[in-house]
Amino acid sequence: MIAAASMLASCSPRDTGNTATAATIDTAAVRDSISAIISGMPGEIGVAAIIDSRDTVTVNDIDKYALMSVFKMHQAIAVCHSFDLKGIPLDTILEFDRTSLNPDTWSPMLKEHQDAHFRMPVSELLRYTLMQSDNNASNLMFDRLVSVAETDSLIATLIPRNCFRITERESDMQSDHAKSYNNHSSPSGVARLVERLFTDSILSTEKQEFICETMRGCHTGADRIAAPLAGKDGITIAHKTGSGYINESGILTAHNDAAYITLPDGTSYTLVILVKDFAGNEKQASDIMARISDTVYRAITRNKPNN
């Protein structure tokens, strides 16, 4: 096992094989199990798991996976950071016309607000993006609050530059699906950002707690990482999903999930699964992600009482 020279020098978090957690979690076995699941699958699948902020497992950890709506987590952090700097509260109201929004994109917000002109606090726009992956809300915040370039630059102060890149809005990707690949990341790049969001102080307490709590209410992707954990008492899951386009060859460009999971005994872990160019449907991709999630969960809980 080769450890990174430093946490900031490498895209991958350091694999600390001699920690107390490692005594009960065989990270090599987990890595092998995940590799066996994805072996021969019709697409590229990358995984990063960080357990109790110490033990790290990565598979196919390369910066090439299209983020899709996972970047809305990055965007939320950038918006909240900007508001912190300016001393602006998240209940600040934005006014906009329905005609400025795209009726042909995924937008629960547009369906739920039928007036020609309406007002909405920024906190509600963030809830739409983080909980329901609303594209109009995301485009609106990029256009009116914090730009794509500003978001990319801010995130580069939180995780290594070689882990990710964000250059496109949802509207850009809808106009040209090939641009989806321009917003890319490695699995560990996303995992490190999730870890910082849930375990570090990167924003004001109020705004950071707002993002974390909103992600715990995410409505999308229940059949992915969350699927094998559903119905288990005392588990909390905060996550952000991303779903790609089907191209002209019938290939699913991306199918993603990034989660922070807390177990009843206080053990926590981050799990990120990114799927690229999958020659199958979303259900098949989700089933693979659920199997990986179950594998990681079982490895963590194997030696715990009542599991």
Tokens 């979690």 found at = 25
- Does the residue 63 lie in any domain? yes
Q: How many domains does the chain have?
A: 1
Tens digit of each residue's pLDDT (9 = 90 or more) over 269-304: 999 999 999 999 999 999 999 999 999 999 999 866
pLDDT of residue 114: 87
Per-residue pLDDT for 19 more than 50?
no
Residue 25: band (very low, low, confident or very high) from pLDDT cuts 50, 70, 90: confident
Per-residue pLDDT for 215 more than 60?
yes
Q: What is the mean pLDDT of the chain?
A: 91
> Could you tell me which residues are beta bridge partners of residue 95?
119
Per-residue pLDDT for 181 more than 50?
yes
- Does the residue 14 lie in any domain? no
- Does the residue 26 lie in any domain? yes
* Burial group, residue 14, by CB count within 10 angstroms (0-12, 13-18, 19+): middle
- Does the residue 9 lie in any domain? no
Residue 16 CB neighbour total at 10 angstroms: 15
CATH number of the structural domain spanning residue 264 = 3.40.710.10
Q: Are the CB atoms for 84 and 204 separated by under 8 Å?
A: yes
Per-residue pLDDT for 227 more than 70?
yes
- Does the residue 3 lie in any domain? no
Q: Are the CB atoms for 290 and 222 separated by under 8 Å?
A: no
Q: Average pLDDT in the 95-113 region?
A: 94
- Does the residue 241 lie in any domain? yes
Residue 71 CA to residue 74 CA, distance in Å, equals: 5
Q: What is the pTM of this model?
A: 0.92
Per-residue pLDDT for 18 more than 60?
no
Where are the extended beta strands (E) located within the chain?
Answer: 44-51, 55-59, 65-66, 93-97, 117-121, 164-165, 184-185, 236-243, 252-262, 268-278
> Which residues are catalytically annotated?
69
Residue 4: band (very low, low, confident or very high) from pLDDT cuts 50, 70, 90: very low
- Does the residue 15 lie in any domain? no
Residue 54 lies in domain: 21-100+108-301
Tens digit of each residue's pLDDT (9 = 90 or more) over 197-214: 999 999 999 999 999 999
- Does the residue 6 lie in any domain? no
pLDDT of residue 307: 52
Long-range contacts at 4-13 (CB < 8 A, ≥ 24 apart): 8/160, 9/160, 10/160, 11/61, 11/63, 11/160, 11/162, 11/163, 11/186, 11/188, 11/189, 12/48, 12/56, 12/58, 12/61, 12/186, 12/188, 13/48, 13/50, 13/56, 13/188, 13/191, 13/192, 13/195
Tens digit of each residue's pLDDT (9 = 90 or more) over 152-175: 999 999 999 999 999 999 999 999
pLDDT of residue 306: 59
Tokens 């934005």 found at = 94
